[in-house]
A and B are shown apart, each in its own frame.
Chain A
Amino acid sequence: MKPIESFDDLTTVTRDALVDLLYRLGDDELVLGHRNSEWTGLAPILEEDIAFSSMAQDEMGHAQVYYQMLHALGEPDPDTIAFSRKPREYRCASLVSLANDKNWAFCLLRQFLYDASETVRLTALCEGTLVPLAQAARKIRSEEKYHLMHGRSWVLRLGNATDESHERMQTALYEAYPHALGLFEPTAADEPLTLAGICPREEELRRQWESAVAPVLADAGLEQPETAQAAYGGRVGHHPESLTSLLNDMQIVYKIDPAAKW
Chain B
Amino acid sequence: MVTAVANELNGLSPQEYDHRLAEFEARINRGEKIEPADWMPDQYRQQLIRLIHVHANSEICGALPEGKWIPHAPTFKRKMALVAKVQDEVGHAQLLYRAAETLGPSREELIESLIAGKSKFSNVFHYPSETWADVAIIAWLIDGAAIINQAMMSEGSYGPYARALKRICYEEAFHMKHGYEMCFTMATGTRAQHEMLQEALDRWWAPIMMFHGPSDKVSTHTKLLVRWRIKLKTNDEQRQQFLNQFVPKIFDLKLTVPDKSIRHDKETNHWHYAEPDWEEFVRVVRGGGPMSRDRIATRRMAHENGQWVREALAAAAAGRSVPMPSAN
- Cβ-defined partner of A254 (8 Å) among B75, B312, B322: B75
Please measure, in the bound complex, the distance between the C-alpha atom of A164 and the C-alpha atom of B308, giving whole angstroms: 7
Of the candidate stretches A14-22, A32-40, A126-134, A187-195, the one touching chain B is: A32-40
* B residues 177-209 touching A (CB-CB < 8 Å): 182, 185-186, 189-190, 192-193
Q: Across the interface, which residues of B come within 8 angstroms of A45, CB to CB? A: 306, 309-310, 313
Is A260 an interface residue when CB atoms closer than 8 A count as contact?
yes
Please measure, in the bound complex, the distance between the C-alpha atom of A42 and the C-alpha atom of B312, giving whole angstroms: 18
* A residues 218-262 touching B (CB-CB < 8 Å): 218, 221, 223, 246, 249-250, 252-254, 256-257, 260-262
Minimum C-beta distance from B186 to chain A (A):
7
Please measure, in the bound complex, the distance between the C-alpha atom of A246 and the C-alpha atom of B6, giving whole angstroms: 60
Is A50 an interface residue when CB atoms closer than 8 A count as contact?
yes
Please measure, in the bound complex, the distance between the C-alpha atom of A40 and the C-alpha atom of B322, giving whole angstroms: 31
Dominant SS among interface residues on chain B? helix
Of the candidate stretches A1-9, A77-85, A90-98, A205-213, the one touching chain B is: A77-85
Decide: A46 near B90, CB < 8 A? Known: A165-B308, A262-B74: yes
Smallest CB gap from B135: residue in A? A253
Smallest CB gap from B311: residue in A? A162
Please measure, in the bound complex, the distance between the C-alpha atom of A213 and the C-alpha atom of B302, giving whole angstroms: 29
Q: Across the interface, which residues of A come within 8 angstroms of B71, CB to CB? A: 34, 37-38, 246, 249-250
- Cβ-defined partner of B185 (8 Å) among A43, A60, A102, A262: A262
Of the candidate stretches B79-87, B222-230, B276-284, the one touching chain A is: B79-87
Please measure, in the bound complex, the distance between the C-alpha atom of A30 and the C-alpha atom of B266, giving whole angstroms: 52
Q: Across the interface, which residues of B come within 8 angstroms of A253, CB to CB? A: 72-74, 132
Is A104 an interface residue when CB atoms closer than 8 A count as contact?
yes
Per-residue 0/1 for B285-318: is the Cβ within 8 Å of any A Cβ (1 yes, 0 no)?
0000000000000100110011111111101100
Is A74 an interface residue when CB atoms closer than 8 A count as contact?
no
Please measure, in the bound complex, the distance between the C-alpha atom of A262 and the C-alpha atom of B313, giving whole angstroms: 42
Please measure, in the bound complex, the distance between the C-alpha atom of A249 and the C-alpha atom of B74, giving whole angstroms: 10
Decide: A60 near B80, CB < 8 A? Known: A161-B312, A165-B308: yes
Decide: A162 near B67, CB < 8 A? Known: A53-B86, A157-B316: no
Please measure, in the bound complex, the distance between the C-alpha atom of A162 and the C-alpha atom of B324, giving whole angstroms: 11
Q: Across the interface, which residues of B come within 8 angstroms of A54, CB to CB? A: 87
Q: Across the interface, which residues of A come within 8 angstroms of B73, CB to CB? A: 253
Smallest CB gap from B307: residue in A? A44
Decide: A47 near B309, CB < 8 A? Known: A53-B84, A61-B80, A257-B192: no
Contact assessment for B190 and A260 in the assembled complex, using a CB-CB cutoff below 8 Å: yes
Contact assessment for B90 and A41 in the assembled complex, using a CB-CB cutoff below 8 Å: yes
Q: Across the interface, which residues of B come within 8 angstroms of A218, CB to CB? A: 327
Is A64 an interface residue when CB atoms closer than 8 A count as contact?
yes
Minimum C-beta distance from B196 to chain A (A):
9
Contact assessment for A104 and B83 in the assembled complex, using a CB-CB cutoff below 8 Å: no
Contact assessment for B94 and A47 in the assembled complex, using a CB-CB cutoff below 8 Å: yes
Smallest CB gap from B327: residue in A? A218
- Cβ-defined partner of B83 (8 Å) among A48, A60, A223, A249: A60
Contact assessment for A37 and B309 in the assembled complex, using a CB-CB cutoff below 8 Å: no
Contact assessment for B189 and A44 in the assembled complex, using a CB-CB cutoff below 8 Å: no
Smallest CB gap from A250: residue in B? B71
Is B3 an interface residue when CB atoms closer than 8 A count as contact?
no
Contact assessment for B132 and A40 in the assembled complex, using a CB-CB cutoff below 8 Å: no
Smallest CB gap from B66: residue in A? A41
Contact assessment for B83 and A44 in the assembled complex, using a CB-CB cutoff below 8 Å: no
Decide: A50 near B90, CB < 8 A? Known: A161-B321, A164-B308: yes
Please measure, in the bound complex, the distance between the C-alpha atom of A102 and the C-alpha atom of B89, giving whole angstroms: 21
Is B114 an interface residue when CB atoms closer than 8 A count as contact?
no
Please measure, in the bound complex, the distance between the C-alpha atom of A67 and the C-alpha atom of B9, giving whole angstroms: 67
Q: Give the 7 A-B residue pairs with the shortest CB-CB distance, closest first.
A: A44-B306, A53-B87, A161-B312, A41-B67, A41-B63, A165-B312, A221-B324
Q: Show 16 A/B contacts (Cβ-Cβ < 8 Å), sorted by A.
A: A40-B86, A42-B301, A44-B305, A46-B94, A49-B87, A50-B87, A82-B76, A104-B309, A158-B316, A161-B311, A161-B315, A166-B322, A218-B327, A253-B73, A253-B132, A260-B189
11 additional contacts (CB under 8 A) given A41-B60, A42-B302, A50-B91: A43-B306, A44-B308, A47-B94, A54-B87, A83-B74, A160-B322, A161-B315, A254-B74, A257-B193, A260-B189, A260-B192
